Structure 1
Amino acid sequence: MKSQKITVIGSINMDIVTKSSIIPKVGETVMGDSFFTIPGGKGANQAVAAARLGADVTLIGCVGEDAFGKELTEHLGKQGIMIDNVKPVTHSSTGIASITLSDGDNSIIVVPGANYEVTPEVVKEHEHIIEESDVVLLQLEIPLESVIEAVNLAKKHHKTVILNPAPIQPLPKELLQQVDYLTPNEHEQQLLLSANDLIDEELEQIKTKCIVTQGSKGVTIYKNEEKLISGFKVEAIDTTGAGDSFNGALAVSLSNGASLEDACQFANAVGALSVTKLGAQSGMPTIQEVEAFLSAQRG
């Protein structure tokens, strides 16, 4: 079967991870248990998730001309991702995320760095790649005007667009109306639908695009009626990247022609498996692992 083409436009970070039994309060120093540097960034995470599931994935983004940038680009290439459009820039450092893990949960500070060099002009340079895509997958760790440009180009060429509205920020209603699927969590959905310039009809239209992630509970969709697509119970080791795993899997399943419900169930399984291992990208499952997991759940 022909691999579907998914273009991810977004962030590439190095995750700097500290594991501790205690998250320090302001002004407090505690002893940590361990320290890691792990490839991350929402764009890169979602690209890896999709590639592990067998899709033909192109990533458009920027890194710094530094050690992290070189390491991340090489790593992404080894994941089977097309990296010809990952641009090194001299005037910004590679983006980083400082992550503290404690009791299976996390807190994160992101420094965008070179991710903010993914300008609308950079997006325009890659219109031909968007035109050749089946699905375009976006997040909000690059400039908003670049996300808007990417959506405009994708809709110009009649492509399916998935927008993961995280980290959450105010979004113009024109952008919300153009995308095909929005994948907020519950908090992000509340903020999206509280925009003051949305009339009731517009609110309802945007709500039907929402696939609201709810952790282990699963996701709620509103396409025809409100419906919960249940999640899977697993032992969580590290929740970092679970949402990115879900989004990459959703893009793959929808591009393969699955119904929205089936795509969400598949993506729930991928998200569940991703939290059973340490690290955002290192925990992302292969298509074989997902199929075996779903088979065991049914049996």
Structure 2
Amino acid sequence: MTSSIVVLGSTNMDLVAYVAKAPARGETVTGREFRTVPGGKGANQAVAAARAGAEVSMIGAVGADDFGVRMRAALEHSGVDTDLLRTVEGASGTAHIVVDDEGGNAIVVVPGANGTVTSLDHGDEALIGTADALLLQLELPLSVVVEGARAARERGVRTILTPSPVQPLPPELLAATDLLVPNEHEATALTGETDPAAAAKALLQQVPEVVVTLGAAGCLHAVRGAEPRTVPAPRVRAVDTTAAGDTFAGVLAVALTEGRPMPEALAWASAAAALSVQHEGASTSMPYRAAIEAALA
């Protein structure tokens, strides 16, 4: 049965410069290529989930500019429903990204239209209530993230939160989060623990289940009442790691809402993320379901 996922999150146009080595402070370097690619953590997770086979709807906002038109079209091209994606006056969100030849990146996000999404309307709440899972991140104002998580909890909908860009999480958001998916740096920032297992254990004091992504080392899964376990990632040559975490979260949500056990769901998400880092771009690098299944086979 096809699962239903709602994403409450950001849409940004990624302005990506590819360089041999990222510039240090005060330094100017020459890039080899520049691209504009539809992205944003919310939109990325929506595309990843849709390509993995879920029915996906997006709640958020784009600006009344060319970037907004392009981002809406890109979401729809991947099968994401955009009926509740608002168009507001002003500029769309942008992410200014530098990608080096080792596949690493540095990112500056300018919220633009995303900053106008401060609360849900009735249609948003009704849509959330129809979903099997709600995907959340922190590129929208925190007020609406909390409101979305509460709406999902009240309606018995699973909430999956990626705490990025990392910031202190209010108790009311943690109380309405079923699964927290930070990367290792975010887990450290939230807990002060540099060891991922220790960080996961600390986070379990606030949420019932945690998956800490570890890049090329895979991920660590922790649930209350059991010891954390590490799941290795496929070994690949990374070209661009932008949106690998979003790919992981979107595909993980699909696997879980389809009823797959967590070990199988993590294998799915890891395979998808490994496929994504072998190609340049954010949403453009995300694999379709057939490619994920072929990788696992």
Shorter-chain TM-score range: over 0.9
Output one character per residue of 1:106-162: Cα deviation in whole Å (capped at 9) or x when no partner: 11110011011112144x541110010000000000000100000000000001000
Amino acid at match of 1:244: D
The residue number in structure 2 matching 1:226 is: 228
Task: Tell me if structure 1 keeps the 8 A contact 2:175–2:207.
Answer: no
The residue number in structure 1 matching 2:206 is: 206
5 Å matches for 1:161-176? 161-176=159-174
Counterparts of 1:277 and 1:7 in 2: how far apart (Å)?
26
Task: Tell me if structure 2 keeps the 8 A contact 1:18–1:101.
Answer: yes
5 Å matches for 1:150-169? 150-169=148-167
Counterparts of 1:267 and 1:19 in 2: how far apart (Å)?
26
TM-score (normalizing by structure 2): 0.93
The residue number in structure 2 matching 1:131 is: 129
Amino acid at match of 1:218: G
Match status 1:18 vs 2:17: yes
Counterparts of 1:204 and 1:212 in 2: how far apart (Å)?
12
Deviation at 1:192, TM superposition (A): 2.3
Deviation at 1:207, TM superposition (A): 6.0
State the number of aligned residues.
287
Counterparts of 1:204 and 1:45 in 2: how far apart (Å)?
27
The residue number in structure 2 matching 1:250 is: 252
Deviation at 1:204, TM superposition (A): 3.8
Which structure 1 residue ranges, 5 or more long, are not aligned? 196-200
Counterparts of 1:27 and 1:132 in 2: how far apart (Å)?
50
Deviates more, 1:172-181 or 1:75-84: 172-181
The residue number in structure 2 matching 1:217 is: 217
Amino acid at match of 1:119: T
5 Å matches for 1:72-221? 72-90=71-89, 92-103=90-101, 104-122=103-121, 124-194=122-192, 204-206=204-206, 208-221=208-221
Task: Tell me if structure 2 keeps the 8 A contact 1:245–1:270.
Answer: yes
Output one character per residue of 1:24-67: Cα deviation in whole Å (capped at 9) or x when no partner: 22222221101100011000000000000110000011000001
- Coordinate RMSD, CA, aligned: 1.6
The residue number in structure 2 matching 1:70 is: 69
The residue number in structure 2 matching 1:198 is: none
Match status 1:37 vs 2:41: no
Amino acid at match of 1:255: T
Which structure 2 residue ranges, 5 or more long, are not aligned? 194-200
Task: Tell me if structure 2 keeps the 8 A contact 1:193–1:207.
Answer: no
Deviation at 1:240, TM superposition (A): 0.3
Counterparts of 1:56 and 1:99 in 2: how far apart (Å)?
29
Provide the secondary structure at the position in 1 that maps to 2:209: coil
Counterparts of 1:110 and 1:203 in 2: how far apart (Å)?
26
Amino acid at match of 1:206: Q
Counterparts of 2:15 and 2:260 in 1: how far apart (Å)?
36
Deviation at 1:202, TM superposition (A): 8.1
Moved over 4 A (4+): none
TM-score (normalizing by structure 1): 0.92
Provide the secondary structure at the position in 2 that maps to 1:240: coil
Counterparts of 2:172 and 2:46 in 1: how far apart (Å)?
26
Amino acid at match of 2:5: I
Counterparts of 1:35 and 1:202 in 2: how far apart (Å)?
41
User: Which of 236, 239, 259 does residue 237 from structure 1 map onto?
Assistant: 239
